[in-house]
Amino acid sequence: MLFYQKTALYSLLPDLEYPEELGQSPSGSRSRRFRILLPILILIFVAAFALSLVLLIPHPIPESCTHPSFRREWRTLNMEEKLSYISAAQCSAKTPSVSLRNDNASIHDEFALLHGRFGNYHSRNAAPFLPWHRYFIHVYKQALRENCDYQGSLPYWDWTLNHQDLSRAPVWNIIDGFGPSRNENGSEGVAGGNCVVSGPFAGLVPTFYEGFRDPHCLSRGMLDEETVRGVGDLTVKPSELTRLANTNESYFDFLIELEYTPHLVIPYILQDQLFYLHHARIDRLWWIWQHLSEANRSEHNGPSTNESSVEGVLRDFLDSGIFRPMRPRVEKDVMNTERGLLCYQYDTTAWEES
């Protein structure tokens, strides 16, 4: 499976197009033309072969990071910044995919399909969960920049600020947010939700669901308010996340608790653009945990893939559709966000509450 990437870091092998057949001509003319063209064809072949070797070798990743971008919480963005991000997210859902053009899919669909087919297998309940998603959302942000001229950084949604009632978070605003969390007036959608009928993503029809072609309306739906309040207060209140970070010295223990509490209790669906703000918050929690001690910055253990008996190690590659031909390594490329490929930081507002 090939996924569209535009920059040198994410470019794929080009499709080679053969020239049209030459028109009929006398045999002598064909022979002379062949003798003339043969050296040119040989040069083209050699150049193409050399280019293919270059593209098959992982691209070097810049070591320097002199001006890291700054990822901030959604509500700290001003109106212009919010609308700029929403516009780029809308653009990604409307821009046709190059590699999935036969499926009438968008660039946003590419990422949903990739995660549905690769993300769970490679990372769920396994050591790559946090590194894999760190790189995944980074590539998504790059796609917004390259295809939709988005110049900002990737924001995150801090659910702890609305843990008493997640349905009232400002990300659900119709004007400068992603639209309502509940859509009682919408028809039944997928995953127990209803079709989104208002806000900037109303009427959106994602192409894939759970890794397979299944066009459907963008769906959202929360449980009743009492349940939502109870779940939020138990799992994503600030003191609970502080406990999570401070009581887990093992990376894998931290990962599992992080995955099964805030990661899975927050209502989202992969096709929803909010997925990336949600996972940026997950990434920020890991980033904070890494900064709690020098040892945490290089801590990495657990199964190498879902249900694998092989232990994951720092020299492992993060391998899936978007990571070719450049296949990043866990240690070299994604453990430290403030150098090389990633080059970003998170705000440290309310660090103690996180």
Give pLDDT tens digits along the chain (354 positions). Answer: 334 344 434 332 222 222 232 233 334 433 333 333 333 333 333 344 333 333 333 444 455 788 899 999 999 999 999 999 999 999 999 999 988 877 789 999 999 888 887 776 666 788 888 999 999 999 999 999 999 999 999 999 998 888 778 788 899 999 999 998 776 666 877 777 788 889 999 999 999 887 788 899 998 876 555 555 555 555 677 888 888 888 888 999 999 888 876 655 565 566 889 999 999 999 999 999 999 999 999 999 988 877 778 888 888 877 655 555 567 788 788 999 998 889 999 998 644 444
Give the SS3 label for residue 335: coil
Write the CATH number for 282: 1.10.1280.10
Has residue 269 been placed in a domain?
yes
Amino acid letter for position 102:
N
Placement of tokens 């998603």 in the chain: 133
User: Domain span at residue 104?
Assistant: 69-353
Cβ neighbour number for residue 205 with a 10 Å cutoff: 14
Placement of tokens 């790189």 in the chain: 135
Has residue 60 been placed in a domain?
no
Has residue 333 been placed in a domain?
yes
Total domain count, the chain: 1
Distances (CA, A) of 65 to 40, 243, 291, 305, 343: 43, 32, 18, 30, 5
Has residue 25 been placed in a domain?
no
Has residue 39 been placed in a domain?
no
Residue 153 gets which letter from DSSP? P
Has residue 56 been placed in a domain?
no
What global pTM score does this model have? 0.79
- As a whole number of angstroms, the distance between CA 9 and CA 187 comes to 42
Has residue 343 been placed in a domain?
yes
Beta strands in the chain (DSSP E): 69-71, 194-195, 208-209, 212-213, 219-220, 344-346
Has residue 271 been placed in a domain?
yes
